[in-house]
Amino acid sequence: MAYKDQARARNNQSALKSRFSEYAAAVQSPAMVSRVANARGFLLLLLRRLRRHLPWIIIIVAITVLEILYHIRSPLETLAEPLDKPFATGCRNPPIDAPRANATLLMLARNSDVNGAVAAIRSVEDRFNHWAHYPIIFLNDEPFNSTFTTALSSVSSGEVTFATIPRGMWSMPSQLNNERAQKAMVFQKDHKVPYGGMESYHHMCRFNSGFFYDMAELQKYRWYWRIEPNVRFTCDITYDPFIEMQRAGKKYGYIIALWELIGTAPTLYRKLSDYKTLHSFPTTRLWSALIKRSIAPWPIRKMLALTQRNRNSAGDKWNTCHFWSNFEIADMDWYRGPEYRNLFSFLDQDGGFYLERWGDAPIHTLAAAMLLKDSEIHHFRDWGYSHPPFQYIPATPKLRKKGDWKLGELQNVRVPEEVRERNEMRGCNCEVSFELSSVIHPYCANVVGRALYGTADVDIDAQG
């Protein structure tokens, strides 16, 4: 050690020593001794006083505990009959000659997505559209080039349409202050909100939330099936999902349910929750299932509601479960109706598509939970689907023993051989490829499953 460093270390040591002896002297000083004695006396007095009020204290604590238990209880009554059922288990004879629904497949893509788009359409054709021949509409915010149109025309068995989105549907709302929005996007980028710094991504989320169903090319259709580049369907689809949805009175269908990163939409739930109260929409089972109830007692919950913008007015949060909208089959008449339009325009006026990074997935989910009946929502639990990094496999449970699942963690779950052998897959000719993507954790699927089926989707307690 250099001489200077040794001297500095010695100085530090002696400074420490002198601070310690000052502290020891202070603690032992008559003033401190009397302060400690006073505090002890005060505590004893307080305890004695409290003892006199013990019965009241017990009553207050009991009421608080009961109130908390009442607040966090599951408000969902058991279902005599599931509100939703798979349209099929196993394979059916595809209704090749049956009439088709008023429906289209729909893909939003960039020219640069051409390879992923071809792969996704090949998969849909291979598993479904080679016998159904539904039309496919491709949308882009700029004109598609000939590489894209040629490649996609050659893999689609239905009529294809390539459309360019009008500027007004792919831009910021006029009332939003551009400078404020730009600052907000920089903030999101700095705070690592996924895609938060990409203006085009915000346009895409706004478009998918509020405008796609108003595109001229979609006007003649009622139903759509959303497909994204690079997705894969991993089971044969041997029935017409549009016809089945229509027959069963369904309006919105999903495959994967998962958690949202709350940083993308910190105020969305509060705003929608207040909107629901203002318009007196009834509380559906799904809406209830999406609430993460606070375990704080009532007055504290109320305080939290006042001070934290991600809580509803009761002080509770959204558990962030939502339908992953990169796949959806839905009835556009629902979006085109006044209730959804009013809701979208309320959100658009707020500016949260840019000031935060609201995705169309939570918007569609919370809107469905608010505006649709529980029985109008369908889970395609008999379909296999991959959108990297996650896939859903339509296996009946028993995948893993309890404890192997960790919330939010990517899993590479293997379906045990005996499950495969017992043919416990719900779908038809499913392939389970673990190279494709990780199997999604069933936390949100179970939350929604309990609301709509009355049981979990995947029983994680079962032994593998």
- Give the angle subtended at the CA of 135 by the CAs of 131 and 136, to the nearest 5°: 115
What are φ and ψ of residue 296, in 5° steps? -80, 150
Among Mg ion, ligand GTP, none, what binds residue 110 when CB lies within 5 to 8 Å by partner kind? Answer: ligand GTP
Nearer to ligand GTP, 113 or 316 (CB): 113
DSSP state of 428: B
Judged by CB under 5 A, the stretch of 1-9, 150-158, 322-330, 407-415 that binds Mg ion is: 322-330
Tokens of 407: 């919330």
Q: Can you name the residues that pair with 322 across neighbouring β-strands?
A: 258
Do 129 and 232 contact (CB within 8 A), yes or no? no
Long-range contacts made by residues 194-202, C-beta under 8 angstroms, separation at least 24? 194/261, 194/264, 194/357, 195/357, 196/264, 196/357, 199/354, 200/141, 201/357, 202/172, 202/353, 202/354, 202/357
Centre a 10 Å sphere on the Cβ of residue 119 and count the other Cβ atoms it contains: 15
CA distance 261 to 78: 30
CA–CA dist 197, 188 (Å, integer): 6
Rounded-to-integer distance, Cα 147 and Cα 149, Å: 6
Residue 437: contacted member of Mg ion, ligand GTP, none (CB under 5 to 8 Å, by partner type): none
Q: Which stretch binds Mg ion (CB under 5 A): 245-253, 256-264, 293-301, 326-334?
A: 326-334
Q: Which segment (129-137, 144-152, 228-236, 299-307) binds Mg ion by CB under 5 A? A: 228-236
Q: What does 459 bind: ligand GTP, Mg ion, none (CB cut-off 5 to 8 Å by kind)?
A: none
463 DSSP 8-state letter: -
- Position closest to ligand GTP via CB: 200
Q: 338-350 vs 199-210: helix axis angle to the nearest 10?
A: 160
341 binds, among Mg ion, ligand GTP, none (CB under 5 to 8 A by kind): none
| Selection from 244, 242, 256 nearest residue 385 by Cα | 256
Subset of 252-311 contacting Mg ion (CB under 5 A) = none
Q: Which does 339 bind (CB under 5 to 8 A by kind): Mg ion, ligand GTP, none?
A: none
Nearer to ligand GTP, 100 or 110 (CB): 110
Least distance from C-beta 230 to Mg ion, angstroms? 7
Supply the minimum distance, in Å, between the C-beta of residue 240 and ligand GTP. 24
Does 228 bind Mg ion (CB under 5 A)? Our answer is yes
Residue 119 binds to Mg ion (criterion: CB under 5 A): no
Identify what 125 binds: Mg ion, ligand GTP, none; CB under 5 to 8 Å per kind. none
How far apart CA 419 and CA 294 sit, in angstroms, is 38
Which residue in 125, 328, 356, 376 is the catalytic one? 328
Minimal distance, residue 137 CB to Mg ion, in Å: 18
CB nearer to ligand GTP: pick between 144 and 275 = 144
In a 3-state reduction of DSSP, which class is residue 291? strand
Q: Which residue is nearest to Mg ion (CB)?
A: 228
Interacting residue ranges for ligand GTP, rule: CB under 6 A? 108-110, 113, 140-141, 200-201, 204, 228-229, 326
Nearer of residues 238 and 437 to ligand GTP, judged by Cβ: 437
Separation of alpha carbons 190 and 200, rounded Å: 17
Question: Are 337 and 251 in contact, with CB atoms under 8 Å apart?
Answer: no
Is 376 assigned a catalytic role?
no
Distance in angstroms (rounded) separating the CA atoms of residues 110 and 206: 17
Nearer to ligand GTP, 141 or 339 (CB): 141
Q: CA 341 to CA 351: how far, in whole Å?
A: 16
Question: Toward Mg ion, which CB reaches closer, 156 or 326?
Answer: 326
- Write down the least CB distance from residue 388 to Mg ion, Å: 8
Of 129 and 437, nearer to Mg ion (C-beta) is 437
Residues in region 4-43 near Mg ion by CB under 5 A: none
Q: Does 339 bind Mg ion (CB under 5 A)?
A: no
DSSP β-bridge partners for residue 378: 253
Residue closer to Mg ion by CB (options 177, 200) is 200
Contact (Cβ atoms closer than 8 angstroms) between residue 222 and residue 102: yes
- Quickly tell me which residue has 């915010």 as its tokens: 141
Q: Strand (E) positions, 314-355?
A: 317-318, 321-323, 328-331
Instruction: Answer with the entry of ligand GTP, Mg ion, none that 204 interacts with (C-beta below 5 to 8 A by kind).
Output: ligand GTP
Tell whether omega for the bond before 389 is within 30 degrees of 0, i.e. cis.
yes
What is the contact surface with Mg ion in residues (CB under 5 A)?
228, 326
Indicate which residues carry an active-site annotation: 328
